[in-house]
Amino acid sequence: MAEDPGLTASEYLDRFFDELRDEVRANPKFASRVVKALGGNVIFENEARADVANPYILAANGSKSQFYSTFASMKIGQIRQVLRDNNLATRLDMAGKSPEQLIDMLFDRASSKVNERKSSLF
Domains of the chain, by residue range, sit at: 8-42, 53-122
pTM of the model: 0.62
Confidence at residue 95, expressed as pLDDT on a 0 to 100 scale? 95
CA distance 70 to 107: 11
Say what percent of the chain tops pLDDT 90: 30
Q: Read off the pLDDT band of 79 (50, 70, 90).
A: very high
Say what percent of the chain tops pLDDT 70: 81
CA distance 116 to 110: 10
Confidence at residue 27, expressed as pLDDT on a 0 to 100 scale? 81
* Summary mean pLDDT of the chain: 83
Residue burial 20-37, b: 16+ Cβ < 10 Å; e: rest: eeeebeeebeebbeeeee
